[in-house]
Amino acid sequence: MDTFWRHGYEGTSTRDLCESTGLGPSSLYNTFGGKRELYLRALERYYETVTAEQIALLNAPGSAKERLRAMMLHSLDSDLDAAEGRRGCFAMNAAVEVAALDPDVKRSVRRTFDRVEDELCAVVGAGQAAGEIAAGRDARALARLVQSTYYGLRVLSRVQDDRTVLLSTVDSTLAAL
C-alpha cells in the first residue's frame, strides 16, 4: 500500500513492488495475480486501516463540530508531515489517477467515500439534534459540504505549506454549519 501511495499506480514499477514485498517478479504475480490486483488489495487495506481511523475520530467523544474538526486536523497534519512524504489521501489519489479508467478502482474508492459521507451525515445529524448545527438544513447536504472541504484540503495540502491557511478553511467550514 505504501509503495502505491507514495508513487501512484503508474509510477510504481514491478521492481518497486518486488522491493517492498520482498518477493521476486514471478512470486509477486503468483501470489497477487499482478500489479492491478495488488493495487486493489492496497485500496482495500487503506479502507480497513486509514478509513477506519477517520471513522474512529468521527465516533469519538465530543461535540459534533469537535469531532469533525478532529478528523480534518488529523488528516491535515498527516498530509503536511514531511516525513510522510506529503502523499495525501490514497483513495483520493486513486480517484484522480485511476478511477476514471478502471471500474473496480472506482468502486473501491466510491466505497471509501460513501462510508465517510455516511459517518459525516451521522455526526451532522447528531449535531443538529444537539442544537449545535442548524436543524433546518439537510444533514446529507451538509455532510457533503464537509466532505468536499475535507478532500479539497487534502489536495491543497500537497501544495500549501502554511497550516494556518488550511486551518482557517476548516474553521470557516465548521462555522458555516
Boundaries of domain holding 70: 44-176
Report pLDDT digits (tens) over 57-105: 999 999 999 999 999 999 999 888 866 667 888 999 999 999 999 999 9
Report pLDDT digits (tens) over 114-152: 999 999 999 999 999 999 999 999 999 999 999 999 999
- Cβ 7 vs Cβ 97: under 8 Å: no
Number of domains the chain is built from: 1
Residue 119 belongs to a domain: yes
Provide the grid cell at 108.
473501491
Residue 106 neighbours by CB under 8 Å, 6+ apart: 95, 99, 100
Q: What is the DSSP letter of 86?
A: S
Residue 26 belongs to a domain: no
Q: How far apart are CA 57 and CA 71, in angstroms?
A: 6
> Taking the model in full, what pTM does it have?
0.91
Please give the C-alpha separations between residue 30 and each of 1, 18, 21, 27, in angstroms, as whole numbers.
Answer: 18, 12, 13, 5
Residue 24 belongs to a domain: no
- Whichever domain contains 54, its CATH number is 1.10.357.10
Name the CA dihedral angle for 156, 159, 163, 167, rounded to a multiple of 10 degrees.
-10
